[in-house]
Amino acid sequence: MSEMRTWAIRSARLFDGTGAPPIDDAVALIEGERVAAAGPASDVVIPNGVEMLDAGDATLLPGLIDAHVHMLHTGSASSGVDSRAMNDRQLLLVGARNSLAALRSGLTTVRDCGDHDYMTLTLRDSIAEGAIPGPRMLCSGPVITSTAGQLWWTGIECDTPDDLRRAVRTLAKNGVDFIKLMGSGGNATPGSNPEVSQYDEEGYRAVADDAHRLGKRVAVHVHGVDAIRMAVDAGMDTLEHCPFRANGGIEYDAELAEDIRQKGIIVSIAMPATWYRLRAEDMRDVRAHPGHLWESRPDSIREMYEAGVKLVVSSDQGSTGTAIDELHLLMAYLVERVGMSPESVIHGATGLAAEALGIEGELGTIEPGKLADLAVVEGDPFADMSVVARVRTVVKGGRIVVRDGAVVV
């Protein structure tokens, strides 16, 4: 099949990524790199001579979007140790390997939330130029953190508002797509405190104001309640993780959640496998969360969901035990353990994720005029979310890039 021409794909069901119910017996018509039409097969007019790919009893989804990844990390049982031990060439090879695995899993877009020395920008540009296969990438480059703060060894250490403004401008000068701020400490850095903010209100505003002046969105890593509050007040674009950590546990703040909802701020849950799954046979350096956090974290997600907070399904890939091709495990967990609807989970990894990244005008949904990024999964994810693991075909910009589970080069 010629990749850049008019063709169509038919499936037992289609979810367009807008949050609307799935459509049975559906067709998507693709012209060049864009969707020309999509809907019930009885309503979509297919021109004569157009080749039809019949996917059978499968579901057609928008290409999946993971809004919080670390493409240069292995995601192994010792991912943090691995990444700090590798040289730059090895890190880029890990990124290239992750790019292939991402495509095979149905990911056509990822947002990389923290790298080393801007190397993900090289990976991003190589993929965009067609040098290697991979998903579309939005990259933050190095994170902004405090001295000795979360991920200090690979970030830009800043302590004053002027330091923070200079870092934002330096990142923009180097061509990043957005800014990643470490608002609180985190589990990946011994000695940092996840419950305590790394900056005061002036620091958050310095980052938000200067980034927005330069046309850059800000994703802010926040664990503690105080850090979440200051990030919300400063007008950050996405809150990463957002578990409401306080006093040694999780203390969900309904009033703060309502403020998040009213302001339309998106929460990217960035929930690595250490929260919901441990591979006991090969976990060697996992910083296991205390048992009471294991119980209360999903509860806080459920409460945000029920309160109407916009929740993006993101994996924090590259964290301990969290691989790039296993977003489906988190999606199934959110349905089975948290109680989110299948529609809201898939929306959180497609249309809503695109909104969080600021690319909703081009990606995230199967609608006329949008770029044709699609994933065909075997079976019905609305009956069993685990079928999202069974990706048969992936289309990126109208081209088939994965066929029968293999990357098309």
Domains and CATH numbers, the chain: 7-63+364-407 (2.30.40.10), 64-357 (3.20.20.140)
Residue pair 199/160 in contact by the 8 Å Cβ criterion: no
- Give the whole-angstrom CA distance, residue 304 versus residue 285: 31
193: which residues sit within 8 A by CB, 6+ positions away?
A: 184, 185, 224
Q: What is the per-residue pLDDT for 4?
A: 66
**Three-class SS string for the chain?**
CCCCCCEEEEEEEECCCCCCCCEEEEEEEEECCEEEEEEECCCCCCCCCCEEEECCCEEEEECEEEEEECCCCCCCCCHHHHHHHCCHHHHHHHHHHHHHHHHHCCEEEEEECCCCCCHHHHHHHHHHCCCCCCCEEEECCCCEECCCCCCHHHCEECCCHHHHHHHHHHHHHCCCCEEEEECECCCCCCCCCCCCECCCHHHHHHHHHHHHHCCCEEEEEEEEHHHHHHHHHHCCCEEEEEEEEECCEECCCHHHHHHHHHHCCEEECCCCHHHCCCCCCCCCCCCCCCHHHHHHHHHHHHHHHHHCCCEECCCCECCCCCCCCCHHHHHHHHHHHHCCCHHHHHHHCCHHHHHHHCCCCCCCCCCCCCECCEEEEECCCCCCHHHHHCEEEEEECCEEEEECCEECC
pLDDT at 295: 77
Q: Burial of 78 by CB count in 10 Å (0-12 exposed, 13-18 middle, 19+ buried)?
A: middle
Contact 325, 105 (CB under 8 A): yes
Region for residue 256 given its phi and psi (left: phi exceeds 0; alpha: psi -120 to 50; beta: otherwise): alpha
User: Which pLDDT value is given to residue 288?
Assistant: 53
Q: What is the pLDDT of residue 188?
A: 80
pLDDT in tens for each of the 409 residues of the chain? 344 699 999 999 999 999 999 999 999 999 999 999 999 999 999 999 999 999 999 999 999 999 999 999 998 877 778 888 899 999 999 999 999 999 999 999 999 999 999 999 999 999 999 999 999 999 999 999 999 999 999 999 999 999 999 999 999 999 999 999 999 998 888 888 999 999 999 999 999 999 999 999 999 999 999 999 999 999 999 999 999 999 999 999 999 999 999 999 999 999 988 777 654 444 444 445 556 677 789 999 999 999 999 999 999 999 888 999 999 999 999 999 999 999 999 999 999 999 999 999 999 999 999 999 999 999 999 999 999 999 999 999 999 999 999 999 8
Amino acid identity of residue 214, one-letter, is: L
pLDDT of residue 191: 85
Show Cβ contacts of residue 89 under 8 Å, excluding neighbours closer than 6 positions: none
Residue 371's pLDDT is 98
Question: Whole-prediction pTM value?
Answer: 0.96
What per-residue confidence (pLDDT) applies to 350?
A: 98
Instruction: Tell me the C-alpha distance between 179 and 237, whole Å.
Output: 10
* pLDDT value of position 400: 97
Q: Order of strands, edge to edge, in the sheet holding 107-112? A: 64-69, 107-112, 136-139
| Residue that is written with structure tokens 């949904």 in the block | 365
Q: For residue range 308-338, list pLDDT tens digits in order.
A: 999 999 999 998 889 999 999 999 999 999 9
pLDDT of residue 77: 76
Would you say the C-alpha torsion 338, 343, 348, 349 has a positive or negative sign? Answer: positive
Separation between Cα atoms, residue 43 and residue 142, nearest integer Å: 48
User: Scanning the structure block, which residue is given the tokens 């600021």?
Assistant: 358
What is the pLDDT, as a whole number, of residue 292? 64
pLDDT at 273: 86
Residue 282 has a pLDDT of 47
For residue 287, what are its two tokens? 């910083």
> pLDDT by residue (tens digit) across 145-204?
999 999 999 999 999 999 999 999 999 999 999 999 999 998 888 888 999 999 999 999
pLDDT of 274 reads 78
